[in-house]
Chains A and B, each alone.
Chain A
Amino acid sequence: MSKTKPMPLFEVFVRSRRGLDHIHVGSLHAHDAEQALEYARDSYIRRGEGASLWVVESKHITASQESDAASFYDPMDDKPYRHATYYTLPDAVDNM
């Protein structure tokens, strides 16, 4: 059994209720996407957590790299004007 090729890794996303987004909950191994979906059912929604399941093979996800952190994330740190809270509202605007 262990001599066969390793099973690919899948990422699992669960939507807990209609109207909400699918949220990443974890990953699992399966022979293919169909089986991954079945395993996701048995591994992640056993307590009724889900109304919809997505699985995607992990290799299809392109992820940002830790080594890119300086160029990817740091430049945002000094741009507070991108937050709505940066602006003082005129008195005329009571509620926003």
Chain B
Amino acid sequence: MSEQIDTNNADTLARFAIRLGDDALILGQRLCEWSSNAPTLEEDLALSNVALDFLGRARMLYGYATQIRGGSEDELAFTRDERQYENLLLVELPRGDFAYTMLRQYLLDAFEDLYFAALTQSTDPTLAAVAAKTVKEVDYHLRRSTDWIRRLGLGTEESHQRLQNATDELWGYVDELFETDTLEQGLIKQNIAVDRADLQTAWCKRVTELLSASNISVPETPWQVSGGRRGLHTEHLGHLLSEMQYMQRAHPGQQW
């Protein structure tokens, strides 16, 4: 495969795979924080299960990037600083309370459901294959998070309030899901990547329908932030990385 790609394009493709991998790794790490902290044992297992899907996806994408340009998955995960990470801001935000975690998950699941379905049509066979595997996982994630949004929104006064607070706090981060930069635009022209902007209407419709049905009002947030794709992160990513990377930083090259 890599022979067919000229070097310039290869680097672009690798960076694209890495940033999709970054989204998955960082969210996977956030979800892992629930391990042993979830409200029930059953939910604990379920969240860890979802976390593992994201870690698995990160490995597939990092693996593809290293096939293209060398290096190792571990180097990508454990030796890059925050400015070198290109994940969306939404995924790096602290896990918050359970409502916050589930809302973030739902907003992303609803997006990924559309995104990876479209990416299965990528002209890049590896990305298309990763997308085909991911679609099945996302289907389950979305089923779970949709369920929780309903339960929390229509549950007790407290669960409703917490979900509403989460919506108010997170709404300013959703625009970034639909932004593309020059790197992605180049790949979109070759039908390798998916144009995120195309998905926004369908996403908005689906999300606002569920939130309204769950008694949650969609805020008119006057602010929208982005920057993850340029390596400009919130203050939270550094802390996440310091914990995640500690072992490799202290003992470089350490293996299990």
The chain A residues found within 8 Å of chain B, CB to CB, are: 1, 4, 7, 28-31, 34-35, 38-39, 41-43, 46
Q: Tally A-B pairs: CB < 8 A.
A: 30
Contacts A1-B39, A7-B40, A29-B40 given: A38-B45 contact, CB under 8 Å? no
Question: Smallest CB–CB gap between A81 and chain B, Å?
Answer: 48
Are B40 and A35 interface neighbours, CB within 8 A?
no
Q: From residue 76 to 135 of chain B, which have CB atoms closer than 8 A to chain A?
A: none
User: Can you list 26 pairs linking A and B with CB atoms under 8 Å apart?
Assistant: A1-B39, A7-B40, A28-B41, A28-B42, A29-B40, A29-B42, A30-B42, A31-B151, A34-B147, A35-B147, A38-B46, A38-B143, A38-B144, A38-B147, A39-B43, A39-B45, A41-B140, A42-B42, A42-B45, A42-B46, A42-B49, A43-B42, A43-B45, A43-B46, A46-B45, A46-B49
For A43, the chain B residues whose CB sits under 8 A away are 42, 45-46
Q: What's the least CB distance linking A5 to chain B, in Å? A: 10
Contacts of A38 in B (CB 8 A): 46, 143-144, 147
B220-236 with Cβ < 8 A to chain A: none
In the complex, A29→B49 CA distance in Å?
17
Q: Which B residues touch A7, using CB under 8 A?
A: 40
